[in-house]
Amino acid sequence: MRKYRFLLLSAVFIGAFVYLTTKLPFARRLAPMSRVWSGPGVARGAGLSTDEVNNIEIYKSANRATVNITTTVYRQNWFMQIIPDTGTGSGFLISADGKILTNNHVVSGRAPEVQVTLADKSRYKAEVLVRDPTNDLALIRITPKKKERYLPLGDSDGIQVGQKVLAIGNPFGLEGTLTTGIISSLGRTIADERGRELEGMMQTDAAINPGNSGGPLLDSQGNVIGINTAILGPGANIGIGFAMPINKAKTMLDDYSAGRRYQRPRLGIAVVYVMGDLAEAMELPAEGGLLIQEVSAGSPAAAAGLRGPTRWVTVGLNEVGIGGDLIMAIDGKPVDRGDALSRALSRKRAGDTTELSISRGGSSMKVKVTLGAALD
């Protein structure tokens, strides 16, 4: 009897289950009627891509070594009153004892008062140790209470267009801001606020705004490859920013460490990069190089016998001087891009010798030039 009761109850439960799962509306079986939103049935954690993890790790490390710089210069107005003129910018520590790289224009002015604010909000007065106005570079120093985190300097000579970069700084006073992008171009020449040409600049689309000046431009390993320097136009970022290659700062730093007065080298020529069909059209070797457009009188280049153009032709919308020397290699390294000369000079100082391999009138020769000192 008990066996039959068990079978009867089982049949009832099975029948009820079949009814409920086939007759009730589909939506009621999926979720309670009170639910007014939809989503995954199982909560999932937010996954981060490899690139995002890379950005986060670099920021956590580099932000602690990036500083905010405030300068105050006292000026006289039209009414003979002395008023303070305050400016802000960025910089980054390159040593545990408080040495900081930044732009010269961030700490420019006559006897400026320079204040540095670290990531932990501690503040210090800074002194200017050395300047390189032509490359818009400056080295300043604070005396921190403890050893500080600093950034490693990379090699800007190996940078390629399309390479990922990260910029950290204090745009519009918003400290600790990270932006990312790529290297858009190399070897750009731009004018600073005083009209002085800054050569061999790296162009990037990483957002750079007022206040970013002097901050680090980093590669995906967290090495400093440039110093954020300028933006195109007078306003905010439009996707075209410029950074000074870090290798241009290394000679200045080496001279300071050795107790030497830094003197930027000078060759005394203006050049244009030509190659391929354009070079052949000018009856030059197809591999091209740097075609000399001007040799300054009394310069090291003039003393070494380098020759400028003998006549001018129109190429597109530009006039190009032809008939002068074509520099095809510098110190044995072939010229393969427009900023080859500025890159080579960034590793030298006044008094050094450089060897130029040139093409002149269809003949090849080598010319040694003793570099002079630039008049900054």
Catalytic residues: 105, 136, 213
Nearest CA-CA partner of 217 in 271, 162, 150, 151: 151
Euclidean distance between CA atoms 99 and 128, whole angstroms: 10
> Coil, strand or helix: which one is 324?
coil
CA end-to-end distance (rounded Å), the chain? 112
Nearest CA-CA partner of 185 in 221, 217, 160: 160
Nearest CA-CA partner of 314 in 278, 276, 362, 273: 278
Q: Provide DSSP, 96-121.
A: TT-EEEE-GGGG-SSS-EEEEE-TTS
The answer to whether the CB of 266 falls within 8 A of the CB of 296 is no
Euclidean distance between CA atoms 87 and 107, whole angstroms: 8
DSSP structural state of residue 206: S
Amino acid at 358: I
The answer to whether the CB of 228 falls within 8 A of the CB of 201 is no
